[in-house]
Amino acid sequence: GINYRDNVAGNDAKIYLGAFKAKLKTFDLAGQHYVIRDLSLNNTSLKYLQQKPLVELVQHITNSVDSSQKEAGKLPLIEVENFAFNNVKVNYDDQISTTKAVADVNELGLVKLKVDLTNSKYSVDDAKLNKSNILFAFKPAPANNLKKVKDTVVPEKSPLGLTIKNISLAGNNIQFDNLGAKAAPKGMDFNHLKITGLSFGAGDVSYSADGIMANVKNGSLKEKSGFALNELKGNAVYNDKQIKLSNFVLKTPNTTIENATELNFTSMDDLTKHPERVKLALSLKNTTIGLKDAGYFSDAIPANYRNEKIKINADVNGYLNNLNIPRLQITGLKNTQIDISGTAKGLPDINKTFLDLNIKKLYITKSDILVAVPRKSLPPSIELPNVINAKGKFTGSMTDFNTNMNIQTDMGGAILTAAMKGPKGRESYKADVSLNNFNVGRLLKMQPKLGRVSVKANVAGTGLDPKKINAKFNARVLSAYYNK
């Protein structure tokens, strides 16, 4: 082994070299082109400790770096035809920047690696990392004072380009820690990740200024929070004209997603500024969302619902501001069933959205309603039905609409035809309501006095504020039962 210690520079390094082999093919010093046929490193360990150097040395190093940058010209082009690391351990500890990296590499292999430092282009035919342990921890540096660095000139660099024909990761463990962030007591903590059994396979991976592409063949992992990924595959494309996800499959012990999504646009600005230019095609089939998985990412999921699941089948197409919805089917929670088709115009501005919906089925239970709607937001004098089963039509916006609904509940049945329009505070409305043997006493929490009622009524008026309502109400009672 070799030990090196420099108290002035603050460096402390130890290296134990097992077997190192290198076979050169091309060594063109003038052209800065180097080709290595075989490069292998086995049974080797390296420890590096960086402590605070002397103040004078810091300034000397800074000046040296500045001068070297000024004199820099063409950077090397390096090619390695076969690259192999086996049983290599690296321990890097920088106490100045509070950065620590530990790698226990069991098997790392690269075939036809090409590194073009001048143009920032990197490519490899095959890359593999198997049964290795990686740890990276750092503490973010405080924000720079922009007044001090506003005159600093940063040389323009070539955009990064990376291509990998095939990549394979199997049985790896990864730990990441942001030492400047407090650890979350539970759930997925992206500042403190501990991943075991990381496996990933993909082909035709590319990253450049033109976009990102990948054909993901497999993926699996487990995280310390309890979240587990069993399967991941699909084709992904991301560039300034398109976002596309095809043949996408994601599976966990609780969730299954089968998705095909395509967004086409003229520029990225269209996504936020010009929805009329963004064309969408989305298909979800055989998709089940486990709320236990959602609970790893959000505390908003009630504890008594974390074993529930939501099943979704959906087809949506058109431009973002003019969507066609041939199918939207949602079932799950305790017992909710939704089957809707129609169109939606004006999105994403909810105030300009116009809906034309055919509500084929809306079956929902009281317990599921209270998950989405806080009990405190409901009028205290109203008791919700245990079950609501409705179908009908809805046309219009949230403040200007027409609807007709046939509603069946455990309290009784109701038929509603209604229309409303006008700005908030000056709403005008009219409605025809028919109640069939409806338990109004239970609805109004007046069961000791009032029982079931059959009535036909119509109402027309303005205003929704109870203190400012101006309305006419006509009703014909067909039957009513009073409790004595």
Q: How far is CA 300 from the centre of its chain?
A: 16
Tens-digit pLDDT profile for residues 232-271: 999 999 999 999 999 999 999 999 999 999 999 999 999 8
Least confident interval from 277-281, 296-300, 313-317, 443-447: 443-447
pLDDT tens digit sequence for 149-190? 445 444 556 689 999 999 999 999 999 999 999 999 999 999
What is the arithmetic mean of pLDDT over 12-39?
93
So what's the pLDDT on residue 146? 46
- Decide: 419 and 399 in contact? Cβ < 8 Å: no
Q: Choose between 69 and 286: higher pLDDT.
A: 286
Alpha helices in 260-349 (DSSP H): 270-273, 291-297
pLDDT category at 378 given cuts 50, 70, 90 is: confident
Q: Give the pLDDT confidence of 39-61 residue by residue, as tens digits.
A: 999 999 999 998 887 655 545 54
pLDDT at position 379, please? 81
At 70, is the pLDDT very low, low, confident or very high (cuts 50, 70, 90)? very low
Q: Residue 149's pLDDT is what?
A: 44
Range with the largest mean pLDDT of 70-84, 166-180, 287-301: 166-180
Q: Which residues contact 72 (CB under 8 A, 6 or more apart)?
A: none
How many residues are given for the chain? 484
Contact criterion met (CB below 8 Å) for 183 and 191: yes
CB atoms within 10 A of CB 62: 10
Q: Which of 248, 252, 98, 260 is nearest to 177 (CA)?
A: 98
- What span, in angstroms and rounded, lies between the C-alpha atoms of 34 and 333? 61
How many other β-carbons are positioned within 10 Å of the β-carbon of residue 388? Answer: 20
Task: For the chain, give every domain's residue range.
Answer: 1-54+75-141+159-239, 398-483
Q: Which two tokens stand for residue 326?
A: 């041939």
- Tell me the pLDDT tens digit for each residue of 463-472: 877 677 888 8
**Contact present, 305 and 295 (Cβ < 8 Å):** no
- Residues 6 or more apart from 408 whose CB is under 8 A from it? 388, 389, 390
Q: What is the reported pLDDT for 422? A: 82
Question: What is the rounded distance in angstroms from the CA atom of residue 123 to the CA atom of residue 230?
Answer: 29
Average pLDDT over residues 181-205: 96
CA–CA separation, 484 vs 479, rounded Å? 16
pLDDT at 400 over 50: yes
**53 preceded by a cis bond (ω within 30 of 0):** no
Other residues' Cβ atoms within 10 Å of the Cβ of residue 292:
19
What is the radius of gyration, based on Cα positions, of the chain? 33
Question: How many CB atoms are located within 10 Å of the residue 411 CB?
Answer: 22
Angle at 113 between CA 112 and CA 117, to 5 degrees: 145
pLDDT band at residue 73 using 50, 70 and 90 as cut-offs: low
